[in-house]
Structure 1
Amino acid sequence: MTLAPYHVPDFSPEADEAAIVRGDRFRLTVLTPRIVRAEYDPDGEFEDRPSQVFWHREQPVPEFDVARGDGQLAIETEALRLEYTAEEPFAPSTLSAHVRESGSVWHYGDDDVANMGGTVRTLDRVEGSTDLEPGLLGGDGWTVLEDTDRLVFDDGWVAPRDAHDDYEDIYFFGYGHDYLGALEDFTAVSGDVPMIPRWALGSWWSRYADYSADRHRSLIERFREEELPLSVWVLDMDWHVTDNEYHGGWTGWTWNRDLFPDPEGFVDWLHDVGLKTTLNIHPADGVHPHEAAYPDIAEHVGIDPASGRPVEFDASDPQFLRGYFEHVIDPLEDDGVDFWWIDWQQWDESPEMAGLDPLWALNHLHALDRTRDGRRPFILSRWGGLGGHRYPVGFSGDAYISWGSLSFQPYLTATGSNVDFGWWSHDIGGHFGGSGTPTGFGELYARWLQFGVFSPINRIHTGNIEYIDKRPWTFEPTVRETLSEALRLRHALIPYLYTMARRNHDRGVPLVRPMYYHHPNEELAYHVPQQYYFGDELVVAPHVRERGDGTNLSRQTVWLPDGEWFDFETGRPSRAGLDASYGDLGDVPVYARAGAIVPLDGDPGFGDVDSPETLRVVAFPGADNTVDLYEDDGTSQAYRDGEYATTTIRQSHEPGRVALTVEAASGATEHVPATRDLELCVRGVREDLAVEIDGADGSVAYDTETRAQTIAIPDHDATSRVTVTLSAPDRGLVVPEDPRRDRVRELLRHLEIPARSKARIEEYAAAFIASERADLDWLGDFRERLTGEQARAIVETLVDAGVAHVGNAEQERLLLWNGDGRTDVTYRLSTFERGSIPLAAEGETESGPLPSLKILELDDLGGEDWTLTVEYADAGRVTFDGTGEAQQYDGEIW
């Protein structure tokens, strides 16, 4: 038996003959200007079937030239030149490529030492950070993907290749620093990223516990009473029968009716209140006689149900797989289950077929099975390898509850984009470990949820630990309000997130992106692993460390590229370059570039993720920009046939004037509310601006906290156009302020020092800010009052100088910067022989004012045999040791 038709994707695996250069034993295929496929086979037999990764080799034939002579062959495209000694086996001397944009040269067999990483199968049993598998992108501007041993599709399902032992099949990517172009090309040949359902972009609630249906209902009702929006309710493994005589109970397919006496009614109720649901499954133990589905699937695979013989899980067998879906999975979906959490943690190669990973098989088939009734491919599962971008979303595994685990997740998420795997779902708040105390855990949980808001999927999850409680209302008021604000903000962001999801589908560019995607020629873009672009318009650097004891604030190092930037929430201008951001529990470092346009839901509700009835457009002056707000039915694949609507939002800027236009909706406008309230909000501008409204009637209000002019237009006809113009030709648009005064005042409010000292420091700081060129000697008067941590915070808030430890498991570093060229912030770096004193006489110590920029790789400093001490204007010092962490010392600098 073969698989069902909907389990077999649409392939276009055979390249146009015009793209092929061949010989008796080789075939070179120019897939795009950046990608060349190279095959060698002594028998001259080449592979045209789709592989697990490459489905669409039939591409528009790019322009290229071919030169032959003296047994040599060269292919030239606009991006690269590939050279090959015709008919010879691939070797460093026979196959090479030159990448034009980066100037780098690759020879067959070269190690990709500059590879920037990809992702990892799971974070199970990982506390903190871990090494990542290689990705598609490298600093040398090339990557080679080895496809020789991957399975190919044959008659609907995969099979090993029947090839010569010396057969090779590789794909050379030569893109220079055009990382976005590399991802676009990769998805062209491997398959696009499907649109995820709109409801997936809200907040999810998940707990591993044997809750009854009534207890679930009670908890959901409390969320509704608290006006805390959710969109997905996850049922972990105890939804099914676990006690049985056949296995340990992890695998199960039959509702536990002690907990869910009416499962169909319960799922219907979830849908009635606006929630989608998923069931957690562990398929490895197959289907046993105690399961309700056993008789049907047993007969399907040729087993007499009376025998009691189990139906074994076999990812290689189309007969089993078809029965698995038709008799086990699909009936549960018919009862209302929306999608599946595939919690595969077992073997990574099928014993029945070499090279077949059951996790990949489950991801592939479960995603496609949803399309049988027109829905979009959508699952929750661990990463099954390259090509996994076709099966959103990714479950990163059981996270440890620790600051180290939280601090690694922004890097993991952004770097996952290097294999185009952008739709990550993390255990927000963690799964294992932790104390669960409201005070100790509250700060960590709040910071984790803030990251969840600015990550692809926001899934709050709790392990089966009685004393870990993540219900927001159980925490003290400050934490409770922070958690509540985060949940509401996530749902407000859905119009922006869904628009970015469409860009991901169209261009292969994930929502969360490393900074080097947009700034490939900036060195610092490669050294800020805890910040990222969040779509096209925002940069986020979430707080991922606990507050300092002396400052009572969290600290995060942020790099903003050249240009104008604004704090997203306050509208306050933010300077480009490196900066240390100090924030209390409610602060999240989120920055909008000049000209940014962010569409929001102005009135998000529980279970409501539809196109907003109140559309709030938040914009920032300083540049021209256009964003096409994307809306469709949110669930079906009709978008592939053009069934969607776009509303163009345009900003035009000139000195003293900004115009914000919402064009009439176009396309399938049935997916847009016929009328909706518009709130056009321009942040970061002055209060005394002239405001004109063209195309509608509205009111104008100014908010001093966000420095925002908001034009409210009720009952706006979505098929009409409206423009608001803000102008101040004689004064300029942006609030003329130096943000340092407010930042110092906020910092002092939190410092653990005498209140009288705070008042004096503020006076000195105000005078310092008012001076064009001032020194920090006055700070030394407070030496007895300040710790090194506190002195660092004050100095870093006032001047463009600082030091930070950043990194991950693969590469940790210290950043030193001094954009103001100050001489009163100094450093001393000393390295040791193990167990000895510093070897200053042998040139092992360097010191002086902080350099304008210095990047110290910890691996280059000799393990733990070094110290770095930074002194802040004779007011305090911070010393970093071999762990890379800041330690406070009161003694003299060596």
Structure 2
Amino acid sequence: MGLADYHVPEFDPVAADEATVTTDHCRFTVLTPRLLRLEYDPDGEFEDRPTQTVWYRDQPVPDFEVTRVDGRLEIHTDHLRLRYDVGERFNSDSLSITLTGFEETYHYGDEEDNLGGTTRTLDGVDGKTDLQNGLLARDGWTVLDDSDSLVFDDGWVTPRDAADEYEDLYFFGFGHDYLGALRAYTDIAGDVPMIPRWALGNWWSRYWHYTQDELRDVMTGFRDRELPLSVCVIDMDWHVVDNPNHDGWTGWTWNRDLFPDPEGFVDWLHESGLQTTLNLHPAEGVHSHESQYRAMAEHMGIDPNTGKPVEFDASDIEFLRGYFDHVIDPMEDEEGIDFWWIDWQQWRESPEMEGLDPLWALNHLHALDRTRDGRRPFILSRWADVGNHRYQIGFSGDTVITWDSLAFQPYLTSAASNVQFGWWSHDIGGHFGGTGDPDSFGELYARWTQFGAFSPINRIHTSKMPYVDKRPWTFGGDVADALEDALVRRHELVPYLYTMAWRNHDRAEPLIQPLYYHHPEQDAAYNRPNEYYFGSELLVTPHDRERGDDTNLSRRPVWLPEGEWYDFESGDRYTGGFHTRYGDLEDVPVYAKAGAIVPLDGEPGFGDVDTPETLRILTFPGADNTFELYEDDGTTQDYQDDEYAITELSSHWEDDWLAFEIGPVRGATEHVPDGRSYELCVRGVDDAVEVTVDGAASHAESYDPVTRTLTVAVEDVDPGEQVTIYLDGDGPLAAETDWRRRQLEDLLWHFEMPAGAKPPLSTHAEQFCRGERADLDWLGNFAAALSHPQLRAIVETLVDVGVERIDHADTERLVLWNEDRRTDVTYQFAAYDQWGVPIDREGESRRGTAPSYELIDLAEFETFDWELTLNYDDLVTISEAGEGHDPTQE
């Protein structure tokens, strides 16, 4: 029978002859001026079929020159110069590529300074783990080795019939144009599919033996409390577990004791506005106790009366076709299952086909199977290597409930963009372990959920642990408030997120972007593992450490790129550089760039992620900007120009006025509500503003002095109309703000110290903030009333000097900064030998005035231990210490 047509992509794998340069044993393909394919085969046999990774080699042929002189072949493009000694195997002497203008040369076999990619799973990981290499490197070049991947032949994969020496390499020489490299990669490997709109809301997931009534009660609990959800995940126990044939992880038949009416329950979810998925562990195949067994056995030529199991075989086209025709598709068509959570944790190699990873086969075919009725490819599954960006979204695995696990996930998420795998779904709150108590676990869960709200997919999940309950209403106080605020904020962000999903599909720009994408020449951008751009307008650096005992606040060092930035919630203005942020559970460190435009759902609700009737547009002072809001029907696969709508939002900023334009809508206006209401919220401005509106019959104004937000509301705007809102100020429109004063007040409110000492301390600090004094001597008068962490917090608030220990990648690092180059802050770094004696070799120890910026890579020191101290004007000393590199272990 073979695979269905919709299981076979439309490949375009053969490059134009004009793009290839061939010798007896090598073929070079110029895919772009910065991307080359390098093939070596001793028999001169080269591969034109699509591989698991690369599908589209027929790219526009760029300009290039070829010279052959004295046995040397050279290929010159506008950006690369390849040199190859004809007749030689690839080696460091025979093959080199120079990045012209970037001053880097690659010799075959060189190792690049790779910026990391992602990993298959976080199962059982407590904290960090190693990542596979990505497509980007600080050297400016990377090599993707595609030699061992399978090739497609007649719709399904097969091993290559190639010599052992055969090599198939792709050289990316993009310098620091990181986004350019990602665009070129998707050009040859396929676009990132468009995410369904409903996937961007909050998900509820728990591994638990729910009955359908219990799960209905959980969903109703969210709805009754006006906590938005868009997806209900039904984990393992939806199917029959106790059976005579295997351990129960695999299952295809509803457990009617728990779900007596699964079709009715799924209908109820849909009526409530929720999508649903079922957890799958397909490894055991289909056994005789399953309701689908007879049809599947007959399909495979097995007599059902024998009870012989239908074994899982990812290499067998007939099995795969039957798997979808008789197991998967009927559950979608007849029972309403929207998509599948493929929880493959078994073998990585198929015994029947060398090199075939069953996880890859499941991801590939499940994603394509959804397209049979015009829906978008969409699954929840684990990473199965480069090329998996076509099969989003990723399930990162069963993490341990610890602060270290939370701290690693922002870094993992941003690094995954380096292989275009930008849609990770983590177990928000962790999978197993932890304590479950409302206090210590509650704080961790709240911080994890805040990160989830500003991550690709926000899927709250818990393992089968009776004393860990993540329903928000089981907590109280500030934990419950933080959880509820994060869930509402996530649904408010859906219009913004959906536009970013379109940009990822259309322009290959991931939602989550490491800072070095946009600031590649700034060393600090490479050493902020837990900071990332969240779309085009925002920068996020989530709190991932618990509150200090003395400060009752979380500490978060932040580096902002050059320019003006605004706190997303408070409207406080920051300038680029380092500062240290302290915050309680209300504090979510999200920064908007000057001029940022962020469209929000003005009325987020349970089970509702449709295009909003009321669009709230949050914008900030400081710069001109344009934002194209993307809207469509949210589910269909095709994206023709006449099938989606674009609403252009633009601002023109001057010091004392702002002109903001909305619309008119371009394209398929049926996707935009008739008579939409708009709320323009300008945050970080004074209230002495005159407002005029063109294009609307009337408008309303209000001002929030806490967040310094002026809101202008217009109603009943036709999609074809344009609305222009003018703000005129008596003077500068941007409000005068001082985040230091606000943070100092927060510190004093949260400190346990004599209340009588707080007013005079605040007075002295105010004088310092106003520039009336430059020294910190006055702080010594309060030293007896303050603990060491409290003193540190005050000093770090008032002056931008600090140190942070980073341990997220392969090496452990210390970052020091002294933004104002203060001479009253000194530091000392000492390394010690195995007897505890300081090492005085050049570079091993250093001391003096704290540098404006310094990175200390601890792996560079051949030492046993190290210690760093940072002294603020003899008032407070910060100490960091740890184990160094042991040279005897080499």
**Fold similarity call, TM over 0.5:** yes
What is the CA distance between 1:95 and its match in structure 2?
A: 1.1
Correspondences of 1:739-758 after superposition (within 5 Å): 739-758=739-758
Contact 1:101–1:177 (8 Å) recurs in 2:
no
Report whether the alignment pairs 1:187 with 2:190.
no
What is the CA distance between 1:194 and its match in structure 2?
A: 0.4
Report whether the alignment pairs 1:333 with 2:361.
no
Correspondences of 1:374-773 after superposition (within 5 Å): 374-640=374-640, 642-696=642-696, 697-728=698-729, 731-771=731-771
What is the CA distance between 1:837 and its match in structure 2?
A: 4.0
Distance 1:635 1:831, change over 3 A: same
Match for 2:805: what amino acid? H
Distance 1:610 1:735, change over 3 A: same
Match for 1:273: what amino acid? S
Distance 1:740 1:451, change over 3 A: same
Contact 1:101–1:176 (8 Å) recurs in 2:
no
Report whether the alignment pairs 1:358 with 2:363.
no
**Structure 2 SS opposite 1:720:** coil
Which residue number corresponds to residue 313 of structure 1?
A: 312
Contact 2:767–2:773 (8 Å) recurs in 1:
no
What is the CA distance between 1:647 and its match in structure 2?
A: 0.5
Q: For residues 507 and 883 of structure 1, what CA distance do their matches in structure 2 show? A: 44
Report whether the alignment pairs 1:80 with 2:80.
yes
What is the CA distance between 1:35 and its match in structure 2?
A: 0.7
Match for 1:877: what amino acid? T
**Alpha-carbon displacement from aligned partner over 1:838-891 (angstroms, at most 9, x marks no partner):** 35699964323311111112223456511112223333222111069xxxxxxx
More off after superposition, 23-32 vs 410-419: 23-32
More off after superposition, 541-550 vs 653-662: 653-662
**Structure 1 SS opposite 2:726:** strand
Contact 1:866–1:881 (8 Å) recurs in 2:
yes
Which residue number corresponds to residue 297 of structure 2?
A: 298
Which residue number corresponds to residue 887 of structure 2?
A: none
Contact 2:641–2:667 (8 Å) recurs in 1:
no
Distance 1:654 1:65, change over 3 A: farther
Q: For residues 641 and 725 of structure 1, what CA distance do their matches in structure 2 show? A: 32
Match for 1:803: what amino acid? V
What is the CA distance between 1:816 and its match in structure 2?
A: 1.0
Q: For residues 370 and 778 of structure 1, what CA distance do their matches in structure 2 show? A: 68
Which residue number corresponds to residue 889 of structure 1?
A: none
Report whether the alignment pairs 1:175 with 2:174.
yes
**Alpha-carbon displacement from aligned partner over 1:24-73 (angstroms, at most 9, x marks no partner):** 32211111111100112222211110000000001111121222211211
Match for 1:551: what amino acid? T
**Alpha-carbon displacement from aligned partner over 1:386-418 (angstroms, at most 9, x marks no partner):** 000000100000010000000000000000000
**Alpha-carbon displacement from aligned partner over 1:758-789 (angstroms, at most 9, x marks no partner):** 22210110111222551001111222222221
Distance 1:883 1:257, change over 3 A: farther
Correspondences of 1:846-861 after superposition (within 5 Å): 846-861=846-861
Q: What percentage of aligned pairs have identical amino acids?
A: 61
Which residue number corresponds to residue 265 of structure 2?
A: 266
More off after superposition, 604-613 vs 845-854: 845-854
Q: For residues 57 and 712 of structure 2, what CA distance do their matches in structure 1 show? A: 50
Which residue number corresponds to residue 221 of structure 1?
A: 220
Which residue number corresponds to residue 151 of structure 1?
A: 150
Q: For residues 588 and 604 of structure 2, what CA distance do their matches in structure 1 show? A: 20
Q: For residues 254 and 640 of structure 1, what CA distance do their matches in structure 2 show? A: 39
Which residue number corresponds to residue 17 of structure 1?
A: 17
Which residue number corresponds to residue 238 of structure 2?
A: 239
More off after superposition, 640-649 vs 622-631: 640-649
Contact 1:21–1:29 (8 Å) recurs in 2:
yes
Contact 1:428–1:448 (8 Å) recurs in 2:
yes
Contact 1:863–1:882 (8 Å) recurs in 2:
no
Q: For residues 484 and 234 of structure 1, what CA distance do their matches in structure 2 show? A: 20
Contact 1:657–1:733 (8 Å) recurs in 2:
yes
Q: For residues 356 and 787 of structure 1, what CA distance do their matches in structure 2 show? A: 59
What is the CA distance between 1:804 and its match in structure 2?
A: 1.4
Q: For residues 842 and 453 of structure 1, what CA distance do their matches in structure 2 show? A: 47
Match for 1:493: what amino acid? L
**Structure 2 SS opposite 1:59:** coil
Contact 2:833–2:863 (8 Å) recurs in 1:
no
Q: For residues 9 and 618 of structure 1, what CA distance do their matches in structure 2 show? A: 41
**Structure 1 SS opposite 2:232:** strand
Distance 1:642 1:394, change over 3 A: farther
Contact 2:833–2:864 (8 Å) recurs in 1:
no
Q: For residues 168 and 869 of structure 1, what CA distance do their matches in structure 2 show? A: 51
More off after superposition, 403-412 vs 64-73: 64-73
**Structure 2 SS opposite 1:561:** strand
Which residue number corresponds to residue 892 of structure 1?
A: none
Which residue number corresponds to residue 122 of structure 1?
A: 121
Q: For residues 840 and 13 of structure 2, what CA distance do their matches in structure 1 show? A: 64
Q: For residues 746 and 836 of structure 1, what CA distance do their matches in structure 2 show? A: 41
**Structure 1 SS opposite 2:351:** coil
Q: For residues 759 and 847 of structure 1, what CA distance do their matches in structure 2 show? A: 36
What is the CA distance between 1:181 and its match in structure 2?
A: 0.2
What is the CA distance between 1:691 and its match in structure 2?
A: 1.5
Unpaired segments of 5 or more residues in structure 1?
A: 885-894
More off after superposition, 504-513 vs 534-543: 504-513
What is the CA distance between 1:677 and its match in structure 2?
A: 1.0
**Structure 2 SS opposite 1:81:** strand
Contact 1:100–1:176 (8 Å) recurs in 2:
no
Unpaired segments of 5 or more residues in structure 2?
A: 885-890
What is the CA distance between 1:675 and its match in structure 2?
A: 1.4
**Alpha-carbon displacement from aligned partner over 1:449-498 (angstroms, at most 9, x marks no partner):** 00000000000000000000101011122111110010000000000000
Q: For residues 599 and 842 of structure 1, what CA distance do their matches in structure 2 show? A: 54
Match for 1:172: what amino acid? F
Q: Matched residue pairs, number? A: 882
**Alpha-carbon displacement from aligned partner over 1:274-318 (angstroms, at most 9, x marks no partner):** 000000000001000000000001111111111110000000010
Contact 1:102–1:140 (8 Å) recurs in 2:
no
Q: For residues 848 and 778 of structure 1, what CA distance do their matches in structure 2 show? A: 23
Correspondences of 1:279-290 after superposition (within 5 Å): 279-290=278-289
Match for 2:597: what amino acid? I
Q: For residues 121 and 184 of structure 1, what CA distance do their matches in structure 2 show? A: 23
Match for 1:709: what amino acid? L
Q: For residues 117 and 737 of structure 1, what CA distance do their matches in structure 2 show? A: 39
**Alpha-carbon displacement from aligned partner over 1:183-216 (angstroms, at most 9, x marks no partner):** 0000000000000100000000000010000001
TM-score scaled to structure 2, two decimals? 0.98
Which residue number corresponds to residue 795 of structure 1?
A: 795
Provide the aligned C-alpha RMSD in A: 1.4
Match for 1:705: what amino acid? V
**Alpha-carbon displacement from aligned partner over 1:410-454 (angstroms, at most 9, x marks no partner):** 000000000110000000000010010111100000000000000
More off after superposition, 159-168 vs 458-467: 159-168
**Alpha-carbon displacement from aligned partner over 1:369-399 (angstroms, at most 9, x marks no partner):** 0001111000000000000000010000001
Match for 2:540: what amino acid? V
**Alpha-carbon displacement from aligned partner over 1:115-158 (angstroms, at most 9, x marks no partner):** 01100000012110011010000010001111111100000000
Contact 1:569–1:706 (8 Å) recurs in 2:
yes
What is the CA distance between 1:633 and its match in structure 2?
A: 0.6
Q: For residues 754 and 360 of structure 1, what CA distance do their matches in structure 2 show? A: 62
Distance 1:603 1:868, change over 3 A: same
**Alpha-carbon displacement from aligned partner over 1:54-105 (angstroms, at most 9, x marks no partner):** 0000111112122221121111222211111223321111111011243110
What is the CA distance between 1:641 and its match in structure 2?
A: 6.2
**Alpha-carbon displacement from aligned partner over 1:595-614 (angstroms, at most 9, x marks no partner):** 11100001101000000111
Contact 1:780–1:874 (8 Å) recurs in 2:
no
Report whether the alignment pairs 1:55 with 2:65.
no
